[in-house]
């Protein structure tokens, strides 16, 4: 009881609901995924862009769309001290396009290719696969409308997920047409929904007039049930969109990227045109999408930039990590632990440690007056590969004994960074 009370007192501060700390050794997996991503993006000519995590709220409303779930329900929006409405970014494309126009990046040779990685924020109910702070790795490629770019982007995503080690993932693609095909489809969809509208949730009833396409993305079970059999936009594509979509499929086949066409694939953002896609995993539960993206040919204009087509995707890093069933790395371990006895040895060891680190080694040392036994125990706990004991005697003779913690082999070596380095390198 007393212990629990104490625990409660000691735990006054906790991270916010749905917002998690990421600790070692899991951070190793994060680093590996980030490293693989950067490496692959580089080969396709993508450059990193680092954007703020907070933007004027309008940046998101204008682009994602007023009647989307993200804007209606999920945004972390608040008023700052200057009475401006600001929002923690729920996704990366809108801030990217804002920056693209602000810095005239459309003047760079096309396609302009950028990637980003970082946290996103959505006020959703935390559950498996859904956090309020989560991370995305995303790319954006602009300036080219040709379906070869769509196929290249999708193929790169597929290579990336494969290299990370994901298995059992399916790539679904579709085309949602352009502003030319939209009006006919919108009319057909409204026609289909008209008699059933009473069975839909209040949100959908409202969406019917403003943005009926959003009804297809509603997560309410009765709405899902009632919209079964709704017409699919893929049957309403104009000739140009049809040709574009055929191109995407042809090039994906040429590149041998396995994919299926899902005419019912709906994305939760309004800015998409033509190609949209999602990568799903059968090993995840209800939240089964690990990555998603699409083309946005009108978005740059929405931000007052010149007409510039674009396409991109974002990977949900937490979901990817939950699928790479790797045991977080066996511990990485220090090359050397310096045990010290006495003040003089301590002074020598802080200098020696620094010299060895500057030569590329991972060196840990003792910082206090603890006994040799406890220092050795510590070296063992942190899995130090080698240990050197520095006492008065060693300092006087200018020689130390290096002990290999695994083989228990002892080597005599001069008390000198270069000499110690040589011995350690020989062991590697
Ligand atoms: P979902 O239907 O799963 O909510 P979404 O359509 O809202 O996904 P996107 O906006 O397409 O998601 O974001 C791309 C990816 O980011 C998703 O496929 C998913 O992997 C990840 N993601 C989105 N929201 C969250 C969240 N709240 N927590 C963790 N990952 C998320
Ligand atoms: Mg969502």
Quote the ligand 1 centre to 130 CA distance (angstroms): 8
Residue 11's CB: how many other CB atoms inside 10 A?
A: 8
| Long-range CB contacts (within 8 A, 24+) of 397-400 | none
Q: Please give the CATH superfamily to which domain 333-423 belongs.
A: Anticodon-binding domain (3.40.50.800)
Q: Ligand nearest 64 Cα, by number?
A: 1
Sign for the pseudo-dihedral over CA of 242, 244, 246, 249: negative
Domain boundaries, the chain: 14-181+237-323, 333-423
The finding on whether 59 has its CB within 6 A of some atom of ligand 1 is no
Task: Tell me if 136 CB under 6 Å of ligand 1.
Answer: yes
> pLDDT of the chain along its 428 residues, tens only?
456 666 666 788 999 999 999 999 899 999 999 999 999 999 999 999 999 999 999 999 989 998 899 999 999 999 999 999 999 999 999 999 999 999 999 999 999 999 999 999 999 999 999 999 999 999 999 999 999 999 999 999 999 999 999 988 999 999 999 999 989 999 999 999 999 999 999 999 999 999 898 898 888 999 999 999 999 999 999 999 999 999 999 999 999 999 999 998 988 888 999 999 999 998 887 789 999 999 999 999 999 999 999 999 999 999 999 999 766 666 689 999 999 999 999 999 999 999 999 999 999 999 999 999 999 999 999 999 999 999 999 999 999 999 999 988 999 999 999 999 999 998 77
Is 289's C-beta closer than 6 angstroms to any atom of ligand 1? Answer: yes
Distance CA 84, CA 64 (A): 19
CA distance 392 to 390: 7
Q: Which pLDDT score is estimated for 269?
A: 85
Residue 326's φ and ψ, nearest 5 degrees, are: -85, 140
Tokens found for residue 203 = 């949100």
Which residues have a Cβ under 8 Å from the Cβ of 275 and sit 6 or more positions away? 147, 150, 154, 173, 174, 175, 244, 245, 248, 294, 295, 311
Q: How far apart are CA 299 and CA 92, in angstroms?
A: 13
Q: Does ligand 1 lie within 6 Å of residue 38's CB atom?
A: no
Residue 405 near residue 385, CB atoms below 8 Å:
yes
Distance of CA 107 from the midpoint of ligand 2 (Å): 33
Please report the pLDDT score of residue 373 as a whole number.
97
312's CB contacts (< 8 A; 6+ apart) are 93, 96, 138, 139, 140, 141, 153, 293, 294, 296
Task: Check if 270 has its Cβ closer than 6 Å to any atom of ligand 1.
Answer: no
Ligand 1, atom nearest to 267 Cα: 6
Query: Relative to the alpha carbon of 319, which ligand is closest?
Result: 1
Q: Is the peptide bond before 111 cis (omega within 30 degrees of 0)?
A: yes
**In CATH, which superfamily holds the domain spanning 14-181+237-323?**
Bira Bifunctional Protein; Domain 2 (3.30.930.10)
| Measured distance CA(121)–CA(92) in Å, rounded | 10
Ligand 2: distance of its center to the CA of 155 in Å? Answer: 24
pLDDT for the residue 328: 62
Question: CA dist 427 to 171, 352, 355, Å?
Answer: 47, 19, 19
Q: If you take atom 3 of ligand 1, which residue's CA is the nearest one?
A: 287
The answer to whether 63 and 364 are in contact (CB under 8 A) is: no
What is the number of the ligand 1 atom nearest to the C-alpha of 269? Answer: 10
| Neighbouring-strand partners of residue 123 | none
At residue 240, what are phi and psi to the nearest 5 degrees?
A: -65, -40
How far away, in angstroms, is 268 Cα from ligand 2 center?
7
* Per-residue pLDDT, 4: 65
């Amino acid at each position: 009881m007393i212990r629990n009370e104490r625990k409660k007192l000691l735990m006054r501060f906790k991270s916010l609901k749905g917002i998690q700390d990421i600790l070692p050794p899991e951070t190793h997996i994060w680093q590996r995924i980030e490293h693989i991503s950067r490496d692959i993006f580089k080969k396709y000519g993508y450059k990193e862009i680092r954007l703020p995590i907070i933007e004027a709220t309008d940046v998101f409303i204008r682009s994602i769309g007023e009647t989307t779930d993200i804007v209606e329900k999920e945004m972390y929006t608040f008023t700052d001290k200057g009475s401006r409405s600001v929002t923690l970014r729920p996704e990366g494309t809108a801030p990217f396009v804002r920056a693209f126009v602000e810095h005239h990046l459309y003047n760079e040779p096309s396609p302009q290719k950028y990637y980003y990685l970082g946290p996103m924020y959505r006020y959703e109910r935390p559950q498996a696969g859904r956090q309020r702070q989560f991370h995305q790795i995303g790319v954006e490629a602009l300036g080219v409308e040709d379906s070869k770019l769509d196929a290249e982007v999708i193929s790169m995503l597929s290579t990336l997920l494969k290299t990370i080690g994901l298995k059992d993932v399916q790539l679904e693609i579709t085309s949602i047409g352009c502003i030319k095909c939209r009006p006919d489809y919108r009319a057909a969809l409204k026609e289909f929904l008209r008699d059933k509208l009473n069975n839909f949730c209040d949100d959908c009833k409202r969406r019917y007039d403003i943005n009926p396409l959003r009804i297809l993305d509603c997560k309410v079970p009765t709405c899902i049930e009632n919209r079964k059999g709704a017409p699919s936009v893929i049957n309403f594509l104009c000739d140009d969109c049809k040709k574009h979509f055929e191109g995407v499929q042809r090039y994906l086949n040429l590149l041998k990227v396995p994919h299926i066409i899902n005419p019912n694939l709906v994305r939760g953002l309004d800015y998409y045109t033509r190609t949209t896609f999602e990568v799903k995993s059968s090993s995840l539960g209800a939240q089964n999408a690990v990555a998603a993206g699409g083309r946005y040919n009108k978005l740059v204009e929405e931000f007052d930039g010149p007409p510039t087509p674009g396409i991109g995707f974002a990977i949900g890093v937490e979901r990817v990590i939950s699928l790479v069933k790797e045991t977080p790395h066996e511990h990485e371990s220090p090359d050397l632990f310096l045990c010290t006895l006495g003040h003089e040895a301590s002074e020598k060891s802080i200098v020696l440690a620094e010299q060895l680190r500057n030569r590329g080694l991972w060196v840990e040392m003792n910082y206090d007056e603890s006994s040799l036994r406890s220092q050795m125990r510590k070296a063992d706990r942190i899995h130090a590969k080698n240990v050197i004991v520095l006492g008065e005697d060693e300092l006087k003779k200018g020689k130390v004994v290096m002990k290999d913690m695994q083989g228990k082999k002892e080597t005599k070596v001069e008390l000198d960074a270069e000499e110690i380095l040589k011995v350690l390198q020989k062991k590697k």
